[in-house]
């Protein structure tokens, strides 16, 4: 082997080594990058792709579907109705920040007469309600009301300690003037050290057979830590049946709750 050929081989070898080292320096950071919850891979302690384990997002495989217990429309005045869907979230420490939904309405002949779309949050664990007010159906009467979520939910895990500390209590519930212009009053208290913004409060009234007779909603811009507020619900027409039970459901987005 000539001296010139040896020198060429040396140069080529050095060049290849330089390219290999340069390529390694470029690729190494991505190879050594710590797992994250947004890298489109199942890694670390994740139980799915970017979900489960220490990730905030829960995997759909570990989540139970929400049960839609019923959906109904309630007359306010002629041609105007409130729609309510009533649910149970079986997932103890998992909630949804935002999800779209749709109510659909049909008359006694099951002929479509309208719809109402919106978005809401889903609280962790327990029963809750979605309320749509002042639905105008003209001269039609909505006998059939259906409800559906219109997108795949994105479930987020909530620290159990936060759920345990959050406590909203309702007391002093009193309904008067059932046969004329009903008024229901109650007291709501934030029994925690958190500030709870944008509180929707839904009331459902039941007859002796536990059938929902009527419903209403009121709103508070916030409940401060350990704050107590009086709330009132009114109806323009008498109740259609004797009311024997009253259920008041405070609704708030747990993702908006802040420390004091």
Q: For residue range 169-206, what is the model confidence (pLDDT) as tens digits? A: 999 999 999 999 999 999 999 999 999 999 999 999 99
Q: For residue range 6-31, what is the model confidence (pLDDT) as tens digits? A: 556 655 665 666 666 666 556 655 55
Mean pLDDT of 94-111: 97
> What residues have CB less than 8 Å from 219, skipping those under 6 apart?
198, 199, 200, 201
Q: What is the pLDDT of residue 37?
A: 85
Mean pLDDT of 99-127: 96
Q: Is 241 exposed, middle or buried (0-12, 13-18, 19+ CB in 10 A)?
A: middle
Q: What is the pLDDT of residue 6?
A: 58
Distance CA 156, CA 85 (A): 22
- Does the CA dihedral 144-107-214-133 come out positive or negative? positive
Distance CA 36, CA 55 (A): 8
Q: What is the pLDDT of residue 52?
A: 86
Nearest Cα to Cα of residue 240 among 218, 207, 202: 207
Q: Where are the chain's structural domains?
A: 44-159, 166-260
Q: Is 201 exposed, middle or buried (0-12, 13-18, 19+ CB in 10 A)?
A: buried
Q: How confident is the model at residue 56 (pLDDT cuts 50, 70, 90)?
A: confident
Q: What is the pLDDT of residue 151?
A: 94
CB contact at 8 A, 224 and 259 = no
Distance CA 216, CA 246 (A): 11
Q: For residue range 217-248, what is the model confidence (pLDDT) as tens digits? A: 999 999 999 999 999 999 999 999 999 999 99
Domain 44-159 has CATH 2.60.120.260: no
**83 pLDDT above the threshold of 70:** yes
Distance CA 53, CA 146 (A): 36
Domains 44-159 and 166-260 share a fold: yes
**Residue environment code for 169-199, b if the CB has 16+ CB neighbours within 10 A, otherwise e:** ebeeeebeebeeebebebebbbbbebbbeeb
**149 pLDDT above the threshold of 60:** yes
Q: What is the pLDDT of residue 48?
A: 85
User: Under CATH, to which class is 166-260 assigned?
Assistant: mainly beta
Mean pLDDT of 149-162: 93
Mean pLDDT of 78-85: 95
pTM (predicted TM-score): 0.83
Calculate the alpha carbon distances from 59 to 63, 65, 152 in Å: 7, 12, 12
**214 pLDDT above the threshold of 80:** yes
Mean pLDDT of 107-111: 96
């Amino acid at each position: 082997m000539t001296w010139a050929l040896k020198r060429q081989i040396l140069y080529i070898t050095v060049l290849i080594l330089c390219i290999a080292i340069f390529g390694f320096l470029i690729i190494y950071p991505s190879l050594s990058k710590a797992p994250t919850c947004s890298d489109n891979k199942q890694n670390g302690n994740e139980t799915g792709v970017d979900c489960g384990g220490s990730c905030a997002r829960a995997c759909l495989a570990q989540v139970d579907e929400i049960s839609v217990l019923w959906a109904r429309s309630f007359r306010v005045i002629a041609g105007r109705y409130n729609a309510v869907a009533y649910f149970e979230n079986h997932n103890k420490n998992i909630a949804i920040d935002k999800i779209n939904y749709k109510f659909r309405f049909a008359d006694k002949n099951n002929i479509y007469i309208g719809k109402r779309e919106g978005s809401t949050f889903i609280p962790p664990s327990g029963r809750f309600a979605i309320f749509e007010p002042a639905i105008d159906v003209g001269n039609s009467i909505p006998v059939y009301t259906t409800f559906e979520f219109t997108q795949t939910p994105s479930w987020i895990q909530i620290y159990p300690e936060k759920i345990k500390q959050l406590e909203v209590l309702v007391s002093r519930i009193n309904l008067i003037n059932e046969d004329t212009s009903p008024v229901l009053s109650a007291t709501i208290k934030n029994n925690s050290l958190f500030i709870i913004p944008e509180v929707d409060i839904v009331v459902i009234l039941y007859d002796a057979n536990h059938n929902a007779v009527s419903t209403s909603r009121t709103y508070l811009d916030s409940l401060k830590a350990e704050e107590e507020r009086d709330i009132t619900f009114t109806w323009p027409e008498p109740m259609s049946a004797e009311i024997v039970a009253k259920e008041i459901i405070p609704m708030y987005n747990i993702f908006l709750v802040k420390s004091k």
